[in-house]
Amino acid sequence: MAFSTRRLQKELADLKREGAPVGIELLSADDFATWLLSVEVLGETVYQGEKFALKFRFDNQYPISAPAVQFVVEDNWVAPIHPHVYSNGHICASILGSEWSPVLSVVSVCVTLQSMLASCKRKELPPDNDRYVRHAPENPKKTRWDFHGTSSPRS
């Protein structure tokens, strides 16, 4: 059994036993390749009452390598309008790239993204949204993000 499978089995068992944090719900985890979770931002935020779905895709290097994580933009789901979230669901967040650590988990990523949304003061797309979405790879991990205070992919 691959290390990634053992780790994901443990995370799934913990999630089922302890439950997810408030505002986060496991929607599906039928295999160890793709999981869906929903995230709702709690409290008075610009996203009050909205719920978003996150898709996690794991390779056999997880947790050494980050999962590919993006907001779902199909089946009645939409991505949040946020300066670090593109309309195709791709997320510019350093923990999904250069600051990924094997100590992070599916739940900790969800909580971090929940917090990122909660701190948003104004709904707006990244300034380069249209250009990025036109040329974006299918897998957000193939984008080389610039994390220096902007939410831009590097050229």
Q: Which residues are catalytic?
A: 92
User: How many other C-beta atoms are found inside a 10 Å radius of the C-beta of residue 104?
Assistant: 16
User: How many other C-beta atoms are found inside a 10 Å radius of the C-beta of residue 21?
Assistant: 15
- CA 26 to chain centroid: 13
Pair 91, 146: CB distance under 8 Å: no
CA 50 – CA 59 distance, rounded (Å): 30
Identify residue 47 by its one-letter amino acid code: Y
What's the half-sphere exposure (Cβ side, CA atoms, 13 Å) at 120?
24
- Beta strand 24-28 with 152-153 is unpaired
